[in-house]
A and B are shown apart, each in its own frame.
Chain A
Amino acid sequence: MISCTEFIPAYSELFKFLEKQGGGAAVLDFWNYLSDNFLGNLKELVEQNGIRGCWMYWTHTLNEEAADFTMELDEEAGEFRIVMRHCPSKGRLLECKHIAPYHDYCGHCDVLYRRVLEPLGYECIADLSEVDQARCSLVVRRKRPASQAQPLGMTGVG
């Protein structure tokens, strides 16, 4: 058994392994597969609870992952936001001095969640500009008709 506390390095090494097999396309294919086959709980929660389903899903995962974060839910505005001050996954990879993280490790988050949420009528905006410091943010917002579109008002992370 590989402990769940050792999953993140295994995940990162899997991305490297797949890239050796078939380049970035092979990694992306796996991320799509994982989104379709592993994130059914996120999909169900959002289908049943709307944007609150995001709050429910990440309340479970981020607390179990001992993340350093702020989550906001504004149901009236149809908006959910995570500001990750220290991602436990990327943080552990950065702390692990004897293995290097997969170069686009954090890319999987954007692909996996977007693939679930966009078909349900939400847009996802991820800011991955500071992932080298284990910081990022994600905004999930109910899609609006183009005539009602508003700026996202993204805040910085950290």
Chain B
Amino acid sequence: MPKEVMRRSASDNAYLHKDFHGALSAGLEYVHRRYGAEAVRDFLRQFAASFYSPLRADLRKRGLAALKEYFEQIYRVEGGTMAIRCTPDELRIEVAACPAVTHMRAHGYAVARMFNETTKTVNETICESTPFAAELVGYDEQTGRSVQRFYRRSA
């Protein structure tokens, strides 16, 4: 049998490896089992505070339009269906089904018990030290359907 060779350049494919959702879920479940629930939140706070620092800065500068554009882009790439309403004081996002949860359920990956914290804690952390706050109004564990709300804090 002849040797088989595959050569690819980065430009040959789009960067979208949804199995990474399963790896993150496995990581959260590991931290939960090994270190407890608060450690999961601590990790997500640490990650969000560092990785989303440019988004947080943009939120301070441009207000909720910055978050609106960010989430529209993310859910477009992931193929999620969402409805979004944005005013200068409130951003409301209704996600029909979380693309991450949908992928994990479809491919047999375990969904971490605290997977919703990737929305709740991350959103709250992005809003820290800004004029805004985040609230996870609703979340369905089975599908990841959610209602996310960002709003201007009271003076």
B119 at the interface (CB under 8 A from A): yes
CB distance from A41 to the nearest CB of B (A): 8
With both beta carbons as reference points, the residue of chain A lying nearest to B4 in the complex is identified as A73
Q: Which residues of A contact B95 (CB under 8 A)?
A: 1
Residues A7 and B6 in contact, CB atoms below 8 Å apart = no
Interface residues in A62-106 by Cβ distance below 8 A to B read: 62-76, 86, 88, 96, 98-99
Interface stretch (choices B16-24, B60-68, B83-91):
B16-24
Interface flags for B108-132 (1: CB within 8 Å of A; 0: not) read: 0100000000110010000000000
Q: Which residues of B contact A68 (CB under 8 A)?
A: 8-10
How far apart are the CA atoms of A73 and B10 in the complex, in Å? 20
Residues A73 and B3 in contact, CB atoms below 8 Å apart = yes
With both beta carbons as reference points, the residue of chain B lying nearest to A97 in the complex is identified as B54
How far apart are the CA atoms of A65 and B11 in the complex, in Å? 11
With both beta carbons as reference points, the residue of chain A lying nearest to B25 in the complex is identified as A38
Q: Which residues of B contact A70 (CB under 8 A)?
A: 5-8
A9 at the interface (CB under 8 A from B): yes
Residues B51 and A6 in contact, CB atoms below 8 Å apart = yes
Residues A72 and B5 in contact, CB atoms below 8 Å apart = yes
Q: Which residues of A contact B5 (CB under 8 A)?
A: 70-73
CB distance from B124 to the nearest CB of A (A): 14
- What's the tally of chain A residues with a CB closer than 8 Å to chain B? 46
Residues B13 and A64 in contact, CB atoms below 8 Å apart = yes
Residues B43 and A13 in contact, CB atoms below 8 Å apart = yes
Interface residues in B70-106 by Cβ distance below 8 A to A read: 74, 77-78, 80, 95, 98-100
How far apart are the CA atoms of A68 and B8 in the complex, in Å? 5
Residues B1 and A11 in contact, CB atoms below 8 Å apart = no
With both beta carbons as reference points, the residue of chain B lying nearest to A7 in the complex is identified as B20
A133 at the interface (CB under 8 A from B): no
Interface residues in B12-37 by Cβ distance below 8 A to A read: 12-24, 26-27, 30-31, 34-35
CB distance from B131 to the nearest CB of A (A): 22
With both beta carbons as reference points, the residue of chain A lying nearest to B115 in the complex is identified as A1
A152 at the interface (CB under 8 A from B): no
How far apart are the CA atoms of A68 and B10 in the complex, in Å? 5
* A and B contact pairs by CB, cutoff 8 A, 25 listed: A1-B95, A1-B118, A2-B24, A4-B100, A7-B17, A10-B27, A14-B27, A16-B46, A18-B31, A33-B26, A34-B23, A34-B26, A55-B4, A59-B6, A61-B19, A66-B15, A68-B10, A69-B7, A70-B6, A71-B6, A72-B4, A74-B4, A86-B10, A88-B10, A99-B50
